[in-house]
């Protein structure tokens, strides 16, 4: 709804304007349709006065706006800043000093494009961009609600997303397989796994819960999630009544609901994959190694026990009649004259009396109960009912017990018509309707979302609301050009992404869309503001510079592990359970002491693979604004709180990262304090320190050496048990240097 100031029309003058926000997407006069409800058309990029700055049509659209406001774009960022920005954006990790040095030294004309292509081809690209999609899918490894039961195979969908993004699965196919993979002809295992997108709804298994109420809430959630992820609309506002602002009727909400009302959750047997084999072999190897250690410990303990047997027998002198009759004759026989059976009976009794052997045997028995078994995989999917189909109806006031008019599957009237394959439309028809190139929302929403990840905000800032209450795009013609080109099929006689004559055709390729954006001059600008920009464009809507913003929660953690040399980079597999602060389980929604953290270097895997327990969110992740896994998240908040600084200084993970960084710097840096300080700085910030920064680090180094020389106990505590006593002070010094660098604002910021 668009309100015109009362000072212009008077109070009564508002009435026709409000009334103009009528169903059908029409606002304003003369049947003008809302910008987001019109099929995007790729226009001709504007002519600009500084064509030398234009690398592709994106720059022409941006520069034309700036020139109209008599503003100039910002200069290009230096190469270290550019590579750090690109690496964080594309794979979510900082570049190494060697990668930065190689790019700085590369004088080829296509050096930047080579870096872009290298990172787009990285297997870590899929990990970084899967996290964005997991926010929309409200991914979790448990059910939620009170019992919060485990979903042991939810991670299979997460790994499917990683593979799909790495393979650059076209977004239209990406959409169809997640919404209707089970309805495709002869669906593959991968296509069935893809439907796991719709299984991340919360499931209420509490005693006394109404199964039908829980099911209907899950269906409503699937409708709302589809609306947010593909349509960019607040579809859920129409569950209880007609939408107050957008032309979506309650009846149309339940017509969408009808697409899912006959889809049931199913956990199907999954044939083993190569990933399954690797996971099984890894778990089997770990199991057997631990079993070997436990058995070796038992053997060593029994050997020590045998050595003390003569002394134990001396303590029994005069007390043999207290022994059980079954073993008394063996103890009465001199040791040298005992038979093998008697000797075994004596040892068995001594071991049972000691207790240590029994405890170790019990531990081995418990461990054997955890023996990994192959081929137990399951798939979390949806399956369409063929019999006893449910009848869909409007829920009056959103109450599933109050049924109104019966409805059939259909799409909202203000959007293009659905073209079903048969008499009864299904989810496959809906999915194909969403990715029809004429659809006004899907291409816009996805292009805008990709832009937001590369600039910190979308061309249309309200990613979740393209409706009448959403904020309009700053560059509507640019957004339309990107959206139309993103959905345009690849022509056979032209290279993908060729923008000759402004005819962009990306064939739904997310990687090509990203490449187009990051190779523009607009993306390569510095992020520093200028006085005239602060005054005229404080939110940087005109894009006269790049955007500077804090890393998301996962990247904060992953970057620390990466520069600390601790990050495990293996891809895929079950989620790991990180340790939680003491008392975290006790203050959860429901007392839950079943959470058992993992151990070992699995804790240094990427944050993407952390176990997501809905009733027990990871405090470190929530401190840095990771979203709630209960509902879809279209854009994350970015806050700045004292808890973040305290976590970076004191959380055990960041202390371990600092220890790892100290070891790395002392092992890899050239000899000498100055070279080591510079190398540490480069590891974190991808650039050399400026003279004032270098001086501050040198003073800090000298101060720390005095402090720890005066307090060797504190140095030993910080250095940890692995440090040699004669090196504890120097180790603590470099750990403290690393902690300071890991806490720099620039370390946590994407410039």
- Are the beta carbons of 535 and 732 closer than 8 angstroms? no
Helix, strand, or coil here: 640?
Answer: coil
Please state which of the ranges 90-99, 329-338, 547-556 shows the lowest mean pLDDT: 329-338
Q: How far apart are CA 445 and CA 34, in angstroms?
A: 15
Strand, helix or coil for residue 33: strand
List, for residues 468-477, the tens digit of each pLDDT value.
999 999 999 9
Task: Examine the domain organization and report whether 182 and 261 are in the same domain.
Answer: yes
Tokens of 119: 């990172």
Nearest-angstrom CA–CA distance, 209 and 198: 21
Does some domain include residue 492? Answer: no
Write the burial class of residue 693 (CB in 10 Å: 0-12 exposed, 13-18 middle, 19+ buried). Answer: middle
Q: Tokens 């929530």, residue?
A: 622
pLDDT in tens, 256-280: 999 999 999 998 887 776 766 777 7
Q: Give a yes or no: residue 99 inside a domain.
A: no
Question: Do 330 and 208 fall within a single domain?
Answer: no
Indicate whether 267 and 393 sit together in one domain: yes
- Say if 591 falls within a structural domain: no
Q: How confident is the model at residue 420 (pLDDT cuts 50, 70, 90)?
A: very high
Query: What's the confidence (pLDDT) of residue 592?
Result: 52
Of all residues in the chain, the percent with pLDDT exceeding 70 is 92
pLDDT at residue 30, rounded to an integer: 32
pLDDT at residue 8, rounded to an integer:
33
Question: Does some domain include residue 445?
Answer: no
Find all residues with CB under 8 Å of 231, minimum gap 6, and list them. 434, 441, 442, 445, 466
Find the mean pLDDT for residues 226-252.
97
Look at the block and give the residue holding tokens 């908040």: 637
Over pLDDT 90: what percentage of the chain? 71
Reported as a pLDDT band with limits 50, 70 and 90, residue 27 is very low
Decide if 280 is inside a domain. Answer: yes
- Length of the chain as a residue count: 751
Comparing CA positions, the residue from 555, 651, 571 lying closest to residue 605 is: 571
Q: Are 349 and 212 within one domain?
A: no
Distance CA 236, CA 224 (A): 5
**CB 591: neighbour CB atoms within 10 A?**
10
395 beta partners? 403
Decide: helix, strand or coil at residue 606.
coil
For residues 487 and 437, the answer to whether their CB atoms sit within 8 Å is yes
What's the mean pLDDT when you consider all of the chain?
Answer: 90
Q: CA neighbours within 13 Å on the CB side: how many for 5?
A: 2
Give backbone dihedrals phi and psi of 638, rounded to 5 degrees, phi first.
Answer: -130, 110
DSSP string for residues in 683-714: HHHSSPPPHHHHHHHHHHHHHHHHHHHH-HHH
Q: 622-634, pLDDT tens digit by residue?
A: 999 999 899 999 9
Residue 31: band (very low, low, confident or very high) from pLDDT cuts 50, 70, 90:
very low
368, 392, 410 - which closes a domain: 368
Most distant CA pair in the chain: distance in Å?
A: 117
How confident is residue 362, by pLDDT bands cut at 50, 70 and 90? confident
* Residue 740 and residue 725 share a domain: yes
Residue 324 pLDDT class (50, 70, 90 cuts): confident
Q: SS3 of 80, please?
A: helix
Q: Dihedral of the CA atoms 650, 651, 653, 659 (nearest 10)?
A: 10
DSSP 8-state secondary structure symbol assigned to residue 496 = T
Give yes or no: residues 685 and 743 share one domain: yes
283 contacts: CB under 8 Å, gap ≥ 6: 372
Per the DSSP assignment, residues forming a β-bridge with 267 are 380
Backbone φ and ψ of 146, nearest 5°: -65, -60
| 380 phi, psi to nearest 5 deg | -90, 110
Cβ(435)–Cβ(420) below 8 Å: no
Residues 635-648 pLDDT 10s: 999 999 999 999 99
Name the pLDDT band for 493 (thresholds 50, 70, 90): low
Radius of gyration of the chain (CA): 32
Is the distance from CB of 102 to CB of 118 less than 8 angstroms? Answer: no
The band of 281, judged by pLDDT with boundaries at 50, 70 and 90, is confident
Residues 658 and 746 in one domain: yes
How many other C-beta atoms can be found within 10 angstroms of the C-beta atom of residue 469?
16
Q: CB of 406 within 8 A of CB of 395? A: no
Q: Is residue 745 part of a domain?
A: yes
Domains: count for the chain: 4
Residues 394 and 247 in one domain: yes
Please tell me what DSSP assigns to residue 518.
Answer: H
Domain end call among 368, 403, 423: 368
217 and 247 together in one domain:
yes
Are 333 and 265 in the same domain?
Answer: no
Asked whether 231 and 445 are in contact (CB, 8 A), the reply is: yes
Which backbone phi and psi does 589 adopt, to 5 degrees? -55, -40
Q: Is 174 left (phi over 0), alpha (psi -120 to 50) or beta?
A: alpha
Looking at residue 335, what is its pLDDT? 86
**248, 313: one domain:** no
Cα(348)–Cα(346) distance, integer angstroms: 6
Record the tokens describing residue 144, joined without a space: 């939620």
Instruction: Give me the domain span that covers residue 708.
Output: 652-750
Same domain for 196 and 243?
Answer: yes
User: Which of 659, 653, 661 is CA-nearest to residue 717?
Assistant: 659
Q: What is the pLDDT of residues 100-150, one digit of tens each?
A: 999 999 999 999 999 999 999 999 999 999 999 999 999 999 999 888 888
């Amino acid at each position: 709804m668009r309100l015109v100031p009362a000072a212009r029309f008077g109070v009564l003058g508002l009435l026709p304007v409000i009334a103009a926000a009528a169903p059908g997407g029409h606002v304003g006069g003369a049947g003008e349709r809302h910008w987001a409800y019109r099929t995007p058309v790729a226009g001709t990029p504007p002519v600009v006065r500084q064509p030398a700055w234009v690398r592709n049509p994106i720059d022409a659209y941006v520069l034309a706006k700036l020139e109209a406001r008599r503003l100039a774009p910002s200069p290009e960022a230096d190469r270290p800043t550019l590579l750090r920005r690109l690496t964080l954006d594309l794979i979510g990790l900082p570049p190494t000093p060697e990668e930065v040095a190689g790019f700085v030294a590369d004088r080829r004309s296509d050096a930047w494009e080579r870096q872009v292509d290298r990172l787009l081809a990285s297997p870590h690209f899929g990990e970084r961009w899967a996290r964005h999609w997991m926010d929309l899918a409200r991914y979790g490894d448990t059910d939620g609600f009170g019992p919060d039961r485990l979903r042991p195979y939810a991670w299979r969908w997460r790994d499917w997303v990683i593979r799909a993004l790495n393979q650059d699965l076209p977004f239209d196919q990406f959409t169809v397989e997640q919404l209707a993979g089970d309805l495709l002809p002869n669906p593959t295992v991968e296509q069935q796994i893809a439907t796991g997108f719709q299984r991340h709804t919360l499931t209420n298994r509490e005693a006394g819960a109404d199964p039908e109420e829980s099911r209907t809430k899950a269906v409503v959630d699937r409708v709302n999630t589809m609306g947010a992820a593909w349509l960019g609309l607040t579809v859920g506002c129409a569950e209880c009544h007609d939408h107050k602002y957008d032309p979506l009727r309650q009846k149309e909400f339940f017509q969408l609901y009808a697409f899912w009302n006959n889809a049931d959750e199913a956990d199907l047997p999954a044939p083993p994959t190569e990933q399954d084999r690797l996971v099984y072999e890894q778990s089997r190897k770990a199991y057997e190694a631990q079993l070997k250690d436990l058995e070796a410990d038992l053997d060593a303990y029994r050997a020590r026990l045998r050595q003390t047997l003569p002394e134990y027998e001396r303590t029994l002198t005069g007390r043999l009649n207290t022994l059980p009759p079954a073993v008394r004759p063996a103890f009465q026989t001199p040791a040298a004259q005992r038979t093998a059976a008697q000797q075994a009976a004596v040892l068995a009794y001594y071991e049972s009396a000691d207790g240590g052997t029994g405890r170790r045997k019990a531990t081995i028995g418990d461990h054997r109960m955890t023996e990994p078994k192959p081929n137990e995989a399951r798939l979390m999917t949806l399956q369409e009912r063929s019999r006893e189909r449910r009848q869909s109806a409007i829920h009056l006031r959103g109450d599933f017990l109050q049924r109104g008019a019966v409805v059939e599957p259909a799409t909202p009237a203000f959007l293009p018509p659905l073209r079903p394959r048969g008499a009864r439309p299904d989810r496959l028809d809906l999915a194909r309707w969403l990715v029809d190139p004429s659809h006004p929302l899907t291409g816009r929403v996805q292009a805008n979302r990709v832009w937001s990840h590369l600039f910190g905000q979308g061309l249309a800032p309200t990613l979740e609301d393209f409706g009448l209450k959403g904020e309009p795009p700053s560059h509507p013609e640019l957004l339309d050009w990107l959206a139309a080109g993103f959905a345009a099929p690849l022509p056979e006689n032209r290279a993908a992404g060729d923008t000759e004559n402004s005819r962009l055709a990306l064939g739904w390729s997310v990687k090509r869309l990203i490449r187009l954006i990051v190779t523009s001059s607009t993306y390569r600008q510095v992020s520093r503001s200028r006085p005239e920009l602060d005054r005229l464009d404080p939110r940087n809507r005109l894009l006269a510079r790049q955007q500077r913003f804090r890393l998301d929660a996962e990247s904060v953690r992953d970057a620390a592990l990466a520069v600390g040399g601790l990050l495990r980079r293996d891809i895929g597999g079950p989620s790991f359970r990180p340790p939680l602060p003491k008392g975290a389980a006790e203050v959860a929604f429901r007392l839950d002491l079943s959470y058992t953290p993992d151990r070992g270097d699995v804790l240094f895997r990427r944050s993407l693979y952390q176990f997501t327990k809905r009733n027990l969110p990871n405090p470190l992740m929530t401190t840095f604004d990771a979203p709630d896994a209960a509902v879809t998240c279209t854009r994350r908040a970015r806050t700045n709180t004292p808890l973040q600084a305290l976590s970076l200084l004191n959380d055990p993970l960041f202390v371990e990262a600092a220890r790892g960084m100290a070891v790395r710097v002392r092992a890899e840096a050239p000899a000498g304090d100055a070279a080591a300080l510079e190398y540490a700085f480069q590891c974190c910030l991808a650039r050399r320190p400026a003279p004032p920064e270098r001086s501050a680090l040198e003073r800090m180094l000298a101060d720390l050496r005095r402090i720890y020389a005066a307090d060797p106990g504190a140095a030993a505590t910080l250095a940890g048990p692995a440090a040699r006593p004669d090196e504890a002070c120097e180790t603590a010094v470099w750990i403290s240097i690393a902690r300071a660098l890991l806490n720099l604002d620039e370390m946590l910021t994407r410039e």
